[in-house]
């Protein structure tokens, strides 16, 4: 009888130890995974943000889809205008010589990022299992001027995998799988990220 009681106590102890371990492990795993995935998405969005800047330099507007973005970056050119004072008339500073050259958009992106990237793969959300960022661009009237606006982003649920459930809010009161992580704004000329 004593052996049975000891065996039952050992089993109860093991079950309680496992329950305690899993109750501590789950919030730690959630925070580690959330941070890792969020940082990967932010790094990806920053690359898209720079690619959109290069696209705008080449076309004068932002790309409203990833096919256009990739096409212009891979094949487009950026006009570079250089103004110099007229050397034949040093006394008149109002005369300038305008020199126009062209830079390859892909080389400009490379210079801004410091490394080469596959522009066609920018559309895919890290940890998103093939899902694509939402992208939009247009022009709006802001302070009586027509300005270009852009917004690219995704919801947390698209890249959080098994942690996309709202029940994980118990480990982070600010966590919301429906929250949008993005840069830009379709209502104002702002290309800042909300991270």
Degrees (nearest 5) of the Cα angle 170, 32, 29?
60
How many other CB atoms are there within 10 angstroms of residue 192's CB atom? 10
Quick one: pLDDT at residue 76?
A: 87
Q: pLDDT tens digit string along 128-149?
A: 989 999 999 999 888 888 899 9
Domain boundaries, the chain: 34-184
Tell me the three state secondary structure of residue 24: helix
Instruction: Cite the beta strand spans of the chain per DSSP E.
Output: 77-85, 96-104, 134-142, 145-155, 180-184
* First-to-last C-alpha distance (Å) of the chain: 62
- Sign of the alpha-carbon torsion through 37, 39, 40, 45: positive
Quick one: pLDDT at residue 93?
A: 66
Q: pLDDT tens digit string along 173-188?
A: 888 999 999 999 998 8
Q: Tell me how far the alpha carbon of residue 149 is from its chain's centroid.
A: 16
Q: pLDDT tens digit string along 85-97?
A: 766 766 666 677 7
The HSE-up count of residue 103 (CA atoms within 13 Å, CB side) is: 18
- pTM score > 0.85 for this model? no
């Amino acid at each position: 009888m004593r052996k049975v009681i000891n065996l039952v106590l050992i089993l109860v102890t093991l079950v309680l130890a496992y329950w305690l371990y899993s109750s501590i492990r789950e919030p730690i795993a959630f925070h580690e995974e959330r941070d890792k995935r969020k940082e990967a998405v932010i790094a990806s969005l920053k690359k898209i943000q720079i690619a959109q800047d290069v696209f705008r330099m080449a076309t004068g507007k932002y790309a409203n889809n990833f096919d256009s973005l990739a096409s212009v970056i891979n094949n487009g050119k950026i006009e570079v205008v250089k103004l110099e004072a007229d050397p034949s008339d040093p006394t008149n500073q109002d005369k300038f010589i305008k020199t126009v050259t062209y830079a390859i958009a892909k080389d400009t992106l490379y210079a801004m990022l410091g490394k080469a990237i596959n522009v066609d793969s920018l559309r895919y959300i890290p940890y998103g299992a093939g899902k694509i960022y939402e992208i939009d661009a247009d022009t709006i009237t802001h302070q009586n001027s027509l300005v270009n606006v852009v917004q690219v982003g995704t919801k947390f649920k698209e890249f959080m995998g098994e942690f996309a459930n709202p029940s994980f809010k118990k480990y982070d009161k600010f966590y919301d799988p429906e929250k949008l992580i993005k840069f830009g704004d379709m209502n104002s000329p702002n290309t800042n990220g909300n991270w």
